[in-house]
Amino acid sequence: MKMNGNTILITGGATGIGLALAEAFVQAGNKVIICARTEENLKQAKEKLPQLHIRKCDVSKEEDCEALYAWVTANFKDMNVLINNAGIQRMIDFRKGTEDLIRHRMEDGEDEIDANLKSLVYMTALFTPHLMKQKEAAIMNVSSGLVFYPMPAVPIYCATKAAVHTLSILLRQQLEGTSVKVFELIPPMVDTNLDKGARKARGQTYFGITTAELVQPTMKAFESDEYEIRVIDPKLASR
């Protein structure tokens, strides 16, 4: 995949892995659009990287996705890379019945299945026909190492990311012979605010690799057309 001259849309691009990818792609000479639910996070990202194009969007809502699609295709007709990065991680204990499910929805107004899977499915369906018209295009879905080593404390997160993994394989097969390449970024534990402090609450003392450590091998793999980008945490691999 070419590394510059792309027009890239990153969901959940205002913080964490999304923002780190945005910065790397901007530095490589690409036009980058990010979307996120929170206006303040978008403004802070824009202050850090003035080259960014920003758009408020809750990708768990189909109407927001459709408005984003209309805006992007009207203003960035050469958009050729979609990075489905938006996602959330919550601790859910089914022994409590629906208690955790309801509490998290009340606290942050988000649903893990909607945020992690439904949004990715709808965004991919919206943008794939547009991407197929481009000379060279790509979709990158961000899943997780927890696909292969699931953790009981975050069962819905693990299940939705497993679905993202399977969908990426099947999407790659469907789009074979088109101009659209399908990548899957499979990060290890990364030190971000994905879990809103749950790792610390569980008593963890190690929070994973930095976003910079994730992005460096990701960019190399993207350039080399390594469609399953499995980034290994060297600290955990040596154990």
**Active site amino acids:** 157
End-to-end CA distance of the chain: 34
29: left (phi over 0), alpha (psi -120 to 50) or beta: left
Each residue of 158-183: b (16+ CB within 10 Å) or e?
bbbbbbbbebbeebbeebeeeebbbb
- Locate 156 and state its tokens: 């819905």
Q: Decide: 19 and 91 in contact? Cβ < 8 Å.
A: no
Number of helical H runs and strand E runs in the chain: 10, 7
